[in-house]
């Protein structure tokens, strides 16, 4: 059996680590040999990868893609599986208030390199990561990222045989900690009623903002999806759940979107209902 090659963009993060674990578990189950390449913005080796592609700065997307291509060409590596994990953008304000320039700037980091790599590397499967951007509690503060996640899902639905999305509930990560810090700072002086209400709820709770925010997210996720899983109790999503979702994809899942919140997992083949302002941009 020939060796398969996976390329993980952002291998050092929680999603990247879960992807490496999924590939190793799948390899062990099937006997198929996989070689894993992972990128990192720094110079340290990505744990669990066979090869690390260092100093990939997605802030300069064209250069980043070129450097990845050069590395793979030198290795004579043909990518079968491309996994794109990066997520960073302007947030801390309602999605409805997002200016066009923020969407463009966020796409340059979170979306455009994935599309460019898919085109140039032509992998058998490309996997991106999404969130529940369309739910009211995230529409309050998710800003430009909501539009990018929506665009990623549209991209996947267009070619479900070769494009997949893992849409995951909130889990503890560096990104979530960063969002919490940004949101707390911006919400204090925000004129937006929804954000003011969020800060009032936090004060009433008596909790530190970070603790309140995670509790708030869990409450909203349970309210949104708990009724669909009456026999399975809610729990917050963990990186191991992302591994399970990727295993479903590796095992041949046909649907373009694998959604999960904790122990709850389901598939979708179309985008969810969302406000008109999200649909139009």
**Tens-digit pLDDT profile for residues 114-141:** 999 999 999 999 999 999 999 999 999 8
What averages of pLDDT result for each successive group of 10 residues across the chain (281 residues)? Answer: 92 95 97 97 96 96 97 97 92 90 96 98 98 94 94 98 97 74 78 86 90 92 97 95 98 98 98 94 86
CA distance 247 to 83: 13
Structure tokens at 76: 């004579």
Q: What are phi and psi of 261, to 5 degrees?
A: -140, 105
pTM of the model: 0.94
Domains within the chain, CATH numbers bracketed: 4-170+237-280 (3.40.50.720)
Q: Are strands 257-261 and 264-268 parallel, antiparallel or unpaired?
A: antiparallel
Residue 1 is predicted with a pLDDT of: 57
**Exposed / middle / buried, residue 119 (Cβ in 10 Å: 0-12, 13-18, 19+):** exposed
DSSP state of 111: T
Residue 180 is predicted with a pLDDT of: 81
CA distance 238 to 14: 9
**Tens-digit pLDDT profile for residues 221-271:** 999 999 999 999 999 999 999 999 999 999 999 999 999 999 999 999 999
CA distance 73 to 80: 14
Q: Which residues pair with 53 in a beta bridge?
A: 39
CB atoms within 10 A of CB 66: 13
Residue 89 is predicted with a pLDDT of: 85
Q: Any residues with CB less than 8 A from the CB of 105 and at least 6 apart, and which?
A: 89, 90, 144
Q: What are phi and psi of 101, to 5 degrees?
A: -65, -30
Q: What are phi and psi of 148, to 5 degrees?
A: -70, -40
Structure tokens at 34: 């996989």
> How high is the mean pLDDT of the chain?
94
| Look-up of token digits 């398969």 | 4
Q: Which of 241, 276, 239 is nearest to 16 (CA)?
A: 239
Sign of the Cα pseudo-torsion (113, 115, 119, 124, in order)? positive
CA distance 230 to 19: 29
- Helices 112-121 and 100-110 pack at an angle, to 10 degrees, of 40
CA distance 255 to 232: 23
Residue 102 is predicted with a pLDDT of: 95
Q: What are phi and psi of 276, to 5 degrees?
A: -60, -35
């Amino acid at each position: 059996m020939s060796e398969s090659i996976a390329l993980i963009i952002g291998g050092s993060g929680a999603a990247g680590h879960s992807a490496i674990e999924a590939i190793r578990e799948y390899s062990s189950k099937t006997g198929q040999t996989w070689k894993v390449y992972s990128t990192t913005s720094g110079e340290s080796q990505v744990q669990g990868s066979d090869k690390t592609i260092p100093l990939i700065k997605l802030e300069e997307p064209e250069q980043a893609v070129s450097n990845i291509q050069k590395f793979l060409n030198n290795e004579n590596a043909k990518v079968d599986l491309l996994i794109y994990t990066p997520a960073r953008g302007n947030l801390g304000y309602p999605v409805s208030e997002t200016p066009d320039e923020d969407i463009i700037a966020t796409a340059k980091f979170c979306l455009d390199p994935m599309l460019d790599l898919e085109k140039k590397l032509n992998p058998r499967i490309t996997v991106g990561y999404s969130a529940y951007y369309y739910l009211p509690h995230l529409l309050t503060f998710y800003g430009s990222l909501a539009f990018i996640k929506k665009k990623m899902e549209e991209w996947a639905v267009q070619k479900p045989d070769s494009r997949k999305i893992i849409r995951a509930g909130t889990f503890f990560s560096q990104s979530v900690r960063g969002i919490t810090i940004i949101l707390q700072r911006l919400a204090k002086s925000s004129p937006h009623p929804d954000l003011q209400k969020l800060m009032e709820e936090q004060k009433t709770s008596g909790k530190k903002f970070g603790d309140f925010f995670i509790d708030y997210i869990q409450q909203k996720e349970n309210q949104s999806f708990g009724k669909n899983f009456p026999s399975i109790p809610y729990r917050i999503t963990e990186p191991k759940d992302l591994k399970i979702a990727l295993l479903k994809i590796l095992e041949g899942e046909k649907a373009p979107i694998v959604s999960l919140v904790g122990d709850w997992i389901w598939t979708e083949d179309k985008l969810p209902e969302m406000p008109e302002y999200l649909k139009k941009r």
